[in-house]
Structure formats: structure tokens, C-alpha cells
Structure 1
């Protein structure tokens, strides 16, 4: 039975390791807004931080930040329980892996929100932050900022005049800046939506034919 837990939780460990290692490096070596162009202007490491949700979205100031962080902690506990439940009941391995990706991503951003305010001083546009500064961190428990860095402005253009709401306005795809944790959550959710029929097919068959009963015509 322990073997069934190995791959999902190894996936969680590797995602967290990649996510937190990159975020620590960014915080300690880059100032806010600093960039490294990987593939011209189409793939960029751009250091930014946000107070809210995935892909840089914001939510309700300090009180909203605290509420969101606490909600995340409750949600990640529920997702972690869900992973264990799926493993115990031998659900499709693909479903288990993708829920593990969502769990790892949620954990990665919770670590930022919960502890980064205590672990680092404020990153500025002039200098990188320091780990465990003598004067203390930039915020209290549960009030840390999430570190984002991946920016892929693949397509830039202008909406045509006939386009509703945004006619004539410029656009960039893909505008949001995100991190490894965001990517893990997105991949997990999208994969579940795409392969849901495969993932839940066996479960439906089990309900229709419980205990592998043979139905004779």
C-alpha cells in the first residue's frame, strides 16, 4: 500500500522543491522588476510579488489577505485529505497525480503567504532582500507576499474596432506573471477537465456493476 503513496508524494516534494528553490533564489538575488530575457522578449524571468491570488490577482487589502491565506490553509488540508482518499480507494492514477499537482501548487503559495513575511526583509526596486534579517521580516505571520517570475508575452497586438468592449485597445497574451506553484495548479486542473471521462469511467462502472456481478440477459 505504501508504494501507492510514493509517486504522488514524490511529485508533491519535487514541485515544492523546484518552487521554493526558485523563489528563494529570486528573493535573494533579484530586485523587484529586474528581468532576465531567456528567449528574446517572449520568455522572461521577471521578479514581482503579489498580495493575493494566483497569476497576480489581488483580494481585499490586509484583512482580505489574512482571510485568503487562512482559506488557502483550510483548502490545502482538504486537498491533501483528498489525495489520500483517492489513493486508498484506488482511483485512476492520472487523477491522483493531477490532484497531487494541485496540492503541491497550493502548498507552494501557502508557504509564501504564511512565512515569507517573517523570513525576508522587503524586496525593493533597488536591491534584493535578505534571509532572516537582523531587523526582522517585512510582515507578520500569514501576511507574506507570493513571489512570481515567469512572464511569457507571446502575442502582442490591438483588438480590431469591431471587437466588443475592448475595441482598439492593445493586448498581450499571456499577460499574467506566475510561478511554479501556479503552473502546477493549472496543469492539474486542466488535465482533470480534459481527461475526466477516463478518470471517472471505472468509478461509474463500479457503481453500475457492484462487486463485479454478472448480469445475464
Structure 2
């Protein structure tokens, strides 16, 4: 896998991710949902923080705005490092499985950075209304956009029986997070590295075997 193919993979993921996000943002009100199957819903939510909606302001004594700026800047530095890793891996002719996984991780991170950096400038808010693209009165500023999520897979959504200690009669859901295409690309890229670790890092695998012997 060469640099050209890596870039094509990145561009493809970015296009799919942004098309989905822009469609959801300009056709759904915040928290509006459509059930596709009993175990899959399209549900529009916005994430102002990191994974699982975690905000730096929940951890540190800083404002939400400052925390969002720090998080976005951190993401920019992180994606620069991932980009350099991909470039060096291509130059060193690393295995295709490694290049594909890095490209997916890079594309996913980049997709969410686009939201964080620019969406506050080009959309108005989605509270009780469908947002407008290139709005005259945008909801935020540069580096303060919200990441658009829409994929929800409530694989289990049920009410626990009364005999369950402490939770009987309460609603129970499994895999409740709402995510997007970019998040999926990152997860797939990481999964490839874990599952095909020996193919991605053949020298490390060989050295481990030699040391074991």
C-alpha cells in the first residue's frame, strides 16, 4: 500500500463522514431519532467533549470554552503525530495492514477535528430547529465546534425483572453510546492493529519469538 492509496482511503472516509454529518445536521433537530431496526437508530446528538462526551471542565477548574479549545488544540497535535507516523511508515515500506490501520485512524481523527474547528462557524444551533449550513448567525467560533454523532446501536433495551437485586423494574440498555463514521474508522483501525499485530509489526513479532527461544 503506497501513499496514494493511503490518501485515497483517508479522503473516502472523510467524504462519507462529512456527508453523513452535514445531512444529519441539516435535516434533524437535536435529539431527533429514527428507528431503522430494533437494534439500530439514527439519533442526532452533539458532543462538546472527548470520548463519551467527557469535558475537561468536568475534571479541571476551567470553563467549558477553555476546555473545548484545549481539547481541539490537543487533537490537532495528535493528528499531526499520526500523519507523521503514516508518512514514515509509507517511506519505510511497512506492511499494508499497518498503513491501512494508520490511515483509518488518521481519517477518523481528522473527521472529528473538522467538526471541532469549523462547525461552530458554519452552522447555527440545532435546539428545536434544523440547523442551516453557512448560517448568518453561527452557534460558535473557530475551534469551538461540536462533533456530530448519529449512529446508535442499542443492542439490548429492556426492563429488568423485579427479582434483580437493586435494579429490578429499571430500564437496562447495552451499548448506549452514539457515535459517527469517524469514530468507527478509528475503532476499526485500532482493531486491525490488535487483531493483525504480527502482520502489522513483523519485526517486533520475530524479535519476541527469538527472545522467547
Structure of higher CA gyration radius: 1
Category of TM-score, reference length = shorter chain: 0.7 to 0.9
- Partner SS, residue 201 of structure 2: helix
- Partner SS, residue 19 of structure 1: helix
Alpha-carbon contact 1:149-1:178 (below 8 Å) kept: yes
Q: TM-score, normalised by structure 1?
A: 0.84
The Cα shift of 1:109 comes to: 0.3
Give the paired residue count: 201
Deviations 1:30-86 (A, max 9, x none): 1111112111x3111000101011343333222211111000000001101111110
Which residues in structure 2 correspond to 1:1-217 (within 5 Å)? Answer: 4-39=2-37, 41-60=38-57, 61-124=64-127, 126-135=128-137, 137-157=138-158, 158=160, 161=164, 170-202=171-203, 205=206
- 4+ aligned runs moved over 2 Å, structure 1: 54-59, 156-162, 166-171, 202-206
Q: TM-score, normalised by structure 2?
A: 0.86
Separation in 1, partners of 2:33, 2:18: 19
Separation in 2, partners of 1:111, 1:185: 15
Deviations 1:129-176 (A, max 9, x none): 1111223x11111110000000000113549857xxx86564312100
Unmatched segments (≥5 aa) in structure 1: 209-217
Root mean square deviation, CA, Å:
2.3
